[in-house]
Every structure is written in C-alpha cells, then in structure tokens.
Chain A
Amino acid sequence: MPPILELRGITKTFPGVLANDNIDLTLNEGEILALLGENGAGKTTLMNILYGLYKPDGGEIYIRGRKEIIYDPHDAIRLGIGMVHQHFMLVPVFSVTENVMLGTETTKAGIFLDRQSVTEQIQNISSQFQLTVDPNAKVEDLSVGVQQRVEIIKVLYRHADILILDEPTAVLTPQEVDEFFTIIKSLIKQGKSVIFITHKLKEVLAIADRITVLRNGHVAGTTTPKESTEASLANMMVGRQVILTVSKKPAKPTDVILDVKNLSVKDDRDLLAVDNLSFQVKAGEVLGIAGVQGNGQKELIEALTGLRKIENGVVEIMGKNTTSASPRDIREVGTAHVPEDRQQMGLVLSFSVADNMILNTYYEAPFTKSYNLQKAEIEKAARERVQLFDVRTPGISVPVSNLSGGNQQKVIIAREFSRPIKLLIASQPTRGLDIGSIEYIHGRIIQKRDEGCAVLVVSSELDEIMALADRIAVMYKGHIIGILPAKEATREQLGLLMAGIHDTASESVSAHETR
C-alpha cells in the first residue's frame, strides 16, 4: 500500500532564500511523524505548501499514491488534510458548535442554521476520539487545552485523515500535554495520520513513530525515537554538538538585592492578580518563577519594573524603595528587564538595530551630548554589541524587524547586559527561540549570576526554570504556593504545584523556604 502522503523534491524559494530545498517526506497511514527543526528551518513553509497556502517552485505531492496539485486550503481539505495552527483560529464569543460549523454551515431549508445536527456530529466525534467537550459551551469560557480539542474537532468534522499539528504543546501545562498525547494516540488508533511539528525534543521521543529533522531548508535526516536521544536529535537540528544542560557552578548568594514584601497588584480587568506576595532575590543566585501563564507572573514583573501600579506592599531594590518609581528610575538603580513580549515591548520593530541597542539609554552620555544624538557613538556601541553578543544581522541600520526571533532577543540581551546591572529580571527569555539561541542566552544569564547579579527568571517552560534556577518559586492564582531549592525539585512535584495542588511535602518545604 502506498504511503498516505508523500512529498518528493519540494523546493520553495523566497526572493534570495531557499526555504525548502528538494525535500522528501513520507507519512504512512496510522503513523505519528514528528517534523523537527529550529525556527527558520523550513517546517512551516513546508506545511503551508502542503496546506495550499504557498505554491512550491518544484516537487510533487502524492496522496494515497495519487499525484495531486494543491492550489489552496480548500483543495487540501478536500484531500483530507487538516491543520491545527499554533495560534487557535476560534471566535471566542461563539459556541463550540458555531465555531466548528463556521465556513461549512449546515442549513435547514437553505437558510436556517442547523445547529442540532452539527451538535450531534460533534458528540459523535467527541466520543469516538475521546475529545471531551461541551458543544454548547462558549469558546471563551474554555481552558486552552479544551480549545485545542475544539480545533482538532473542527479538523475531524471536515473529514481530515492527515492532521498537521503546528507546535500544539506550546500553550499547554505538563498535565495537559499528557492528555493531549492520549488524544493523539486515540486518533491514530482510529486510522488517522499525524504530522507533529515541534522543537521540543522530549515530546518527540515520547510520542513519535518516526522523526524527520529539517535544517536550513533541507532534510537533515529521518530517524526513529529508538535510535535517537535528545542530544543526537539536537545535533541533527543544529548541525553541531549542543550542550543541552546549562553548566553552572553552585550559586553563592550574598546580599539581598530584590526584596518584595506583601506585594499586591491588579490586572487590566481590575482584579487582584498578585496577592500579598513576598520573596527575596540575592546577588549571585537565580530565582526561577514557574507557573502556567496567566497566574500573575506578567503583573508581578510589570509591577517590579515600574510598568504597573502597585496596590499594596513594598518593593526594594538594593535597599532603595522603588514601590512607586518610574521605569526609568528603576533602570537607573541598576535593573535590567528582558520583557516577556519582545516584539511589543522590548523593541521598536521599525527602528534600526542600532536604535534598539540604545532604546532606553539614548538620552545618556555618550549617546546624547548637548542635546544632540551622537550618531557615531551610537553606531560604535551598536557594532560592538552586535559582535559581542553574536547578533546575526545584515547591518546595524536595518530595521530590527528583519531579524529572526532569536536575534531580536539577542539585541535585547545585548542592550540590557551592556550596562552595569545588579538585578536582572527576565521574563520568558527564550520563548519561541531555537536551540542555538536558547543555549546562548542561558549561558549569558548564568554568566551574569556568576558576576554577582541577582537574577529573577519567569518562564512557563519547566525545562528552562530547572536549567537556570537555583531556587524555584511556583506561582498559582497570584500566590507563590511553594519555593523549592532547584536541586530537590522534580518535574512531577512542580507540575502538581503549577496545577495548584498543594501537597504536604512541598508545603513544608515552602514554609521552610519562605520563612
């Protein structure tokens, strides 16, 4: 029997770039194929070709042994290809049923929406694939994990046999990832085939039948989980030896740099997002804040950096009360802030690399003298920093929007680390970045710690927290429900705390730590 999907020699160039170079890829029926690669390796381009969003310059697509030309997503859907995007395409105020039928509305008498029959079909799909979901619930009331199920139901409702899942686990908690894997396995049992796009090595090894690795637009190799390890996959992805664990010496904490006492902060909806929080970070240590996104981490960081009003409590940085200080004052005390949203907050995308390198120090000497920006000084500093921090850019005067995500983050890191700082606050410092950049940025953060900087890292990636932190605080609904020494923490323990399950063991640890 021919494979359900076969790509032969797919080539796609964008002006000046070979995004896909003669790619061969095979998906057998009832198989989970992991498509692994760094950002920019060509995974998304390849899948967009398969889904009819791009037209390939060369190559052939065979589905169930028949050569097909896919002009647009309608063709793809007709051929049984369904895609679940990383960012969900759901209408929040619509019900599950309405979202599923959107675009292929079933009608009664030609004009009335037939919600009833769609609801029944959803229930059938739900029970068949163990995709538990209430068809009448509004999407905005559902958790992220359930929303993802709705996306999968949408695809199955359109009779897809080949499911393309684009980074499906990026938004899930460890527990939700397990549930998600169960769903995938039940899909396979029912005869579906899955292409699973990711750059998370652990997941690939856990779930895939076969693994195809892309690098710089071509296939670096195809392998199976049995034959590979995390390290071997990482090497294939990057093309060189990668150190997956951050090598670091034990922390030598000294003076308290950041002292937070009874901090309370409200979110944009005026609800208490950070509730009576207290903790300290000392020079020479990394405190990692773990937790599922949306448990008050964002508000906490914004409060500490002067971007959000503090309702209650006191923040001291190096003994100076910064509770109601402005972002500039807090920066001038010696704080660096690597913000969560690098494109919306950390950079002005239309500004040049050079201007972004001095985005918050432009008014100081040597960049401003007698009320004039000193172009020569700015460019000199930019060139130095680009080199020192290995920013890959065609030049310092190109808009920073031209850079890849990893290099954009390096611009922020370069800017923030090029000043004498005593406190580093980094939020999701490597989200969405490729292995090479993650490795680099982690190394830089640990280097800052060893230079005697106090470091506060917020991340929803447990791996990142466990790699960087000396102590791990878990945030849940605005509280820190446990602080553990990193050495003693296990994934399971942290996963439970992230889900708000507060067992006695961790309670005693947290009581001990926060005392």
Chain B
Amino acid sequence: MKRTASESRTNKSQQSERSLWQRLFAREGMGQAVLLPLLSVFTALLIGAVIIAFSNVEIIAAWKNLFSSPMETLKLTWQGISHAYQAMFEGAFGIPSEMAKAYKEWKTTGETRPLLEAFRPISESLVIATPYIFAGLGVALGFRGGMFNIGAEGQLFAAGLVATLIGYSVKGLPIYIHMPLAVLGGALGGALWASIPGALKAKTGAHEVINTIMMNYIAFRLTDYLLSGPMMRPDGLPISRDVLPSAYIPPMFAPPMRLHWGFIFALVMAWVVYWFLWKTPLGMEIRMVGANPKAARYAGVRNAMITVLTMALSGALAGMAGVGQILGVNHNMVRAFSTGYGFDAIALALLGNSHPLGVVLSSLLFGFLRGGAARMQSVADVPVELIRIIQGLVIVFIAAPEIIRSLYRIKEKKQEGPTAKLVAN
C-alpha cells in the first residue's frame, strides 16, 4: 500500500506543476478531451440514481427489509430509479410510442396537431439549449483568449434590454429589417457591456473576474430600474412593453412548438466561432494571447487590443442568448427572463473544453436534462433540483478530472517531464 501512496504523491506533485489555467486551455490529447466529459456525465447520472433511490420514501422503507427480502428491495430500488430516469427521458425527448402514433396519424390523415404535441418535449429541450449554446460559446471564446468572463449573465441582460427597446420602440419596419436590427443591437449591447471590463484589464490590469461580476450587478439593477420605469408596460407590472411581431425571431413550427430559428442560428454561430478562432489570423492572435501572452507580444500581437476584442466578442455571443430568449420565446423582458444561463455557460464552456463543438454538445445535454426535469417531478415525484445536483456533479468532475481518472483508472497523458523529453530525443 505504501508503494501506491508514494506513487500517487509524485503524480500529484507533477500535476500541481500545471496550473488550473493550463488545464483549462491547453488540455492535450483529444481522446481524453472526449472521454473524460462522457465519464463525468455518466458518473453524475449514477450518483443521481442513488439520490433518487434515497429520496424515495417507499424505497427507504423497502431497504429496512433488505435482509428478509433482498430481491424485492433491489427490484423496488431499480424500479424507482428507472421510473425516474424514464420520465426524464420522456420529458426531454417525448414519449416514443405517442410520437410514433402521431407520426402515423399525420401520414394517413395529414393532421399535424397531435404530431406537434408529441414532439413538443424535444422542441422544448432545444429551446432551452439555444441560450446555452450562445452563452457557452461566449464564455468559451473568452477562455480561448485568456479571459475568464463571469459576466455572461450581465451581458445577457444588457443585450436583452437593447433588443427589447429596439423591438418595441422602432415601428413600421418590415421583419427582414426590424428583426436583424434588434438582434444586432442586442449583440452590440452585450459586446459593449463586456468590453468595459476588457478595456479595464487591457489598460490597468484590473482582473476581469472582479469587474465582470461587478458589471453583472450593475446590469441587474439597471434592468430593475428600466423595467419598473422607462421601459415598463402601461399596466404597471415590472415587465417591458411587448416586442412588435416584426422583431420576432420566427418560430420553426406551428404552436405549441416554441422552437425558433435562433436555434439554427446558434449552431451556425458555433461553426463561425470555430472558423474564426482556428482559421483566421485574428483568431490565432486571440488564442495566442490566451495561451501565452508573453509569446504573443514577442510575435508582434497587440495584446491590449486583442483583450478588448476578445471580451467584446464574448459579450456579443453571451448577449445573443438574451436576445434569442426575448425575440424568439418571451417577446417581452421580465426580470426573471434568464434562469442563470450566463452562469451555467461557464460550466458549459468547461465541459465542452472551450471548443465550439463541445459547447454545442454540452448545451444539448443541459437542455435535455432541464427539459426532462419537469416531467420527472410530476410523474416520478423526483424534485427538479436533482437536475441541478447532476449538473453540479458534472462540473465538479470536469474541474477536478483526477476524481474521474482515479475512479476509472485512466492514466494522465504525460506531455511534460522526462517521458516526453525522452520520446522526443
């Protein structure tokens, strides 16, 4: 035993030589970049299963009889867990049998109503995933440029305010001008909001984590003021005036499906971010400043300018999350229009290894988890908070990959140290 203890100690000391930042930005080895998140999700669902079991009164009661009727106990436990996760699955995607039935009916009679009803759960999940993708992309782009943008939530509010304002106050424009104008204005609002901490960092070195948090508070209070004052609806509720239909991001299907074209736009933006970061010289500069600012300066990059630009782009993307919600779903702005998309975005960027494809996949995952939560509560009587626990566990496992590595005995790929040097020699 002593042997393994001393071995793990050396491993740990090698590990600590790489800072958190290096682990975030320069995680090497594509295989592990995919494997570790998958195992993290899997493990979180397993622990979720245990929590489901032990928050169920019947199952707890059954465990008291474990020794008298062990099979019965295990069966009951299994049923409880599978029932809950089945409900979650149905809530996230839909009930397969009903989906098939509705599809058949539509084939024969052309009746779309049941079809839309049956497929509504998956549409709802994608509606939730849409702001996740935008905000996650924003935070990921910030990470790539070395900026820890905790202010995505505030940027989302700033963008939402601008989009709402343009949405209800500009009148008489056709949709193909009004809607893009509102979208663009919102993105610009997010960009400006984020570029303030960016400029502070570039000019004075003030840390962006502190300043983006502070900018969040300013955005929240500004929203409170505007929604209960200048932008308030005539009936006196703290809700903004309604956005004009000409500024709506159009829905993709008929009601009750709420999925809008913002989802497709989010996927396109993921590709654009990928292209920008990896295929253009400016993107290379952002990644250079993020990975090694000293080397970037040596290579002739204007770091200060890149820092502000990184924050502006990050803020624009995060802002798009708010814009999409308001112009595509709510059509007005309330204080609670975001359920913390901007904060979850940090987790999504980490989970997705700050890569656009990773962000899209993890956003879809979170969308489905959140989408399935309501049905899990109503059908299986498992509180929605379980989803929060699962999300939280996923993030813990991603932030501390050692847990997953030691659970599944995955060796870390050593890139530095004597091994790598010897390989190269």
Contacts and interface: CB of A to CB of B under 8 A. Distances in A.
A interface bracket (residues with beta carbon within 8 Å of B): 35 or more
Interface stretch (B108-116, B258-266, B294-302, B339-347): B294-302
A-B pairs with lowest CB-CB distance, top 7: A328-B300, A350-B26, A14-B419, A360-B299, A40-B425, A404-B424, A72-B6
Contacts of A394: 423-424
A54 interface: yes
A355 interface: yes
Contact of A17 (B288, B296, B415, B422): B422
A344 B280 contact: no
A14 B418 contact: yes
A395 B28 CA distance: 15
Interface residues of B, number: 39
Contact of A348 (B2, B292, B414, B418): B292
Nearest to A216: B425
A316 to B, nearest CB: 20
A53 interface: yes
Interface in B116-157: none
Contact of B420 (A71, A307, A327, A402): A402
Contact of B298 (A216, A217, A360): A360
B1 to A, nearest CB: 10
A372 interface: yes
B279 interface: yes
B424 A348 contact: no
Interface of B: 2-3, 6-7, 9-10, 22, 25-26, 28, 278-281, 284, 287-288, 291-292, 294-300, 302, 411, 414-416, 418-425
A38 B418 CA distance: 12
A123 interface: no
Interface in A156-191: none
B298 A401 contact: no
A362 B281 contact: yes
Contacts of B280: 371-373
Interface in A279-333: 305, 307, 326-328, 331
B242 to A, nearest CB: 41
A217, A399, A402: which has the most chain B beta carbons within 10 Å?
A: A402
Contacts of B2: 71
Interface of A: 14-17, 19, 38-40, 42, 44-45, 52-55, 71-72, 216-217, 305, 307, 326-328, 331, 337, 339, 341, 344-351, 355, 359-360, 362-363, 368, 371-373, 375, 392-394, 399, 401-407
Contacts of B298: 305, 307, 327, 337, 339, 345-346, 360
B3 A55 contact: yes
B299 A405 contact: no
Contacts of A344: 292, 294-295
B425 A373 contact: no
A15 B419 contact: yes
14 contacts: A38-B425, A39-B421, A54-B10, A72-B6, A344-B292, A347-B295, A350-B291, A362-B299, A373-B279, A373-B284, A399-B415, A404-B422, A405-B421, A406-B425
Nearest to A332: B300
Secondary structure class of chain A's binding surface, majority of residues: loop
A217, A359, A404: which has the most chain B beta carbons within 10 Å?
A: A359
A407 B424 contact: yes
Given A351-B287, A399-B415, 14 more contacts: A14-B418, A17-B423, A39-B421, A45-B418, A52-B6, A54-B10, A346-B298, A348-B292, A350-B22, A360-B299, A399-B28, A401-B26, A401-B28, A405-B421
A99 B82 CA distance: 59
Contacts of B422: 14, 17, 19, 40, 42, 217, 404
Nearest to A330: B300
Contacts of B294: 341, 344-345
A18 to B, nearest CB: 8
A418 to B, nearest CB: 15
A404 B418 CA distance: 9
B9 A19 contact: no
Contacts of B419: 14-17, 19
A412 B280 CA distance: 22
B10 A349 contact: no
Contact of A368 (B25, B281, B291): B281
Contacts of A371: 280-281
A277 B11 CA distance: 48
Contacts of A347: 292, 295
Contacts of B3: 55, 71
B3 to A, nearest CB: 6
A89 to B, nearest CB: 12
Contact of A402 (B7, B9, B411, B424): B424
Given A346-B295, A348-B288, A402 B300 contact: no
Contact of B284 (A52, A362, A402): A362
Contacts of B28: 350, 399, 401
A424 to B, nearest CB: 15
B31 to A, nearest CB: 14
A40 B421 contact: yes
Contacts of A406: 425
A331 B418 contact: no
Given A344-B294, A401-B416, A363 B281 contact: yes
Contacts of A362: 281, 284, 299
A56 to B, nearest CB: 11
